[in-house]
Structure 1
Amino acid sequence: MTRDILVLYYSRHGATAAMADEIARGVVGVRGADARVRTVPPVSPDTEATAGELPETGAPYAELSDLSECAGLALGSPTRFGNMAAPLKHFLDGTAAEWLSGALAGKPAAVFTSTGSLHGGQESTLLTMMLPLLHHGMLLVGLPYTEAALHRTTSGGTPYGASHLAGGGADKALTDDERTLCRALGRRLAETAVRLDP
């Protein structure tokens, strides 16, 4: 039996999308797990639907059914003033029916983020992204300090989840340590989902 791990993210310049790909690599390395990578459309300040049915490139847009069908969730966003970006928050704000039905209750979840500066709100973004997941009854997993890259990293990486220092121009590629920690988070999430759903 294969368990789908939903890797759900919003990415404006590609850094969070690159992290999602690495997390998915960690997921698929676990026997009995597969990654379902999805994104969310941007939101308009005029609150009008402006995005097409499918994104021009990258992962397909998430549907609410992706949440109920997943065995675990990795949620990712660039930071916006220490919080998740509006498109991801908008998607989560539409999950009242899943909250009422308990569709995500008891499933493991993890979070990841990218920032423009080293002290640009990585940890606060990860922590605030956890709040709606706790309301959904999800079981949060992070990165333990048994991950050696947490001791080495000079850019992204926290015990709360994977992070990346993208730079002010979003031009910095993932470092080896950031890539390692993304894969470790995906692996840990998938292993937990498999243990919870034998």
Structure 2
Amino acid sequence: MTDGPYILVLYYSRHGATRRLAEQIARGVEQAGMAARLRTVPAISTVCEAVEEDIPDEGHLYASQEDLRDCAGLAMGSPTRFGNMAAPLKYFIDGSSALWMSGALIGKPAAVFTSSASLHGGQETTLTSMMLPLLHHGMVIAGLPYSESSLSTTTTGGTPYGASHVAGSDGRDVDATELALATALGKRLALLAQRLAD
């Protein structure tokens, strides 16, 4: 458990690519001198609330509303689902009304990231869909500026709206450019959190 200020890297991942981006963003956060707290959310059912153990069998712990409340900044990631964030992540965020009412997230920086199967699979709308509740919470949205030269040369993932990955029909792994942009997003978020805290 982290004692000092931390960036919450909150994600849902079905096949591992979004998780890989999350872990790379956490590395960028730590390279910028802040702690990163990686958390995921449980899957949900389309017909009723899914019942999951409190601790997953493998991977990162499930996020709590306290993890969200106490963070100095947030990186939030989801696979693309028809141009929108996945239901498990939205379910978690939909449960954050008490934090909205208390203003707990106002003024904190946030960034978003995603993975999709195809280049035109709705990455940018997914990223903006994740921004909407964060704007309602009063968070300060941080994208990736074009000073990150990889944005101008990438032929796979990476957008000014946030880090991304294109898996393709063969489910390819996250490539070096996508990892570099995820690292840059983590660093940017940590540096903004430090400046806003000052």
- Judge same fold: TM > 0.5, yes or no: yes
Structure 2-normalised TM-score? 0.96
Letter in 1 for 2:17: A
Report if aligned partners of 1:10, 1:40 keep a CA contact under 8 Å in 2.
yes
Aligned to 1:8: 10
Q: 1:58-104 deviations in whole A, cap 9, x for unaligned?
A: 11000000011100000000000000000000001100000000011
CA contact (8 A) 2:124 2:161 kept: yes
Contact (CA 8 Å) 2:43, 2:50: kept in 1 or not?
no
The CA deviation string for residues 117-152 of structure 1, in whole angstroms up to 9 with x for no partner, is: 010001010011100000000000000000011112
Q: Whole-Å Cα distance in 2 between the matches of residues 173 and 48 of structure 1?
A: 31
Secondary structure in 2 aligned to 1:125?
helix
Distance between the aligned counterparts of 1:136 and 1:168, measured in 2? 36
Cα pair distance change 1:54/1:168, threshold 3 Å:
farther
Alignment of 1:135-154 (within 5 A): 135-154=136-155
| Unmatched segments (≥5 aa) in structure 2 | none
Matched residue SS, 1:92:
helix
Note the C-alpha offset of 1:3.
1.9
Q: Identity percentage over the alignment?
A: 61
Q: Aligned ranges for residues 1-198 of structure 1 at < 5 Å?
A: 2-31=4-33, 33-169=34-170, 171-198=171-198
Distance in 2, Cα, partners of 1:2 & 1:96: 25
Amino acid at match of 2:25: I
What SS is found at the alignment partner of 1:114?
strand
Q: Kindly state the Cα deviation for residue 55 of structure 1 after the two structures are TM-superposed.
A: 1.1
SS in structure 1 of the partner of residue 135 of structure 2: helix
How far the C-alpha of 1:57 sits from its partner, in A, is: 1.1
Shift of 1:48: 2.7
Structure 1: how far apart are the matches of 2:150 and 2:163? 11
- Distance between the aligned counterparts of 1:18 and 1:124, measured in 2? 21
Do the aligned partners of 2:25 and 2:186 also contact (CA within 8 Å) in 1? Answer: yes
Q: CA deviation at 1:50?
A: 2.2
RMSD: 1.1
Q: Distance in 1 between matches of 2:142 and 2:91?
A: 23
Could you tell me how far 1:165 is from its partner in structure 2?
Answer: 0.4
**Count of aligned residue pairs for this structure pair:** 196
Tell me, in whole angstroms, the C-alpha distance in 1 between the residues paired with 2:172 and 2:11.
19
Q: CA deviation at 1:2?
A: 4.0
Conserved 8 A contact 1:152-1:177: no
> What secondary structure does 1:56 align onto?
coil
Partner of 1:117, secondary structure, is coil
* TM-score of the superposed pair, with normalisation by structure 1: 0.96
Structure 1, unmatched stretches of 5+, are none
**What code does the residue aligned with 2:124 have?**
E
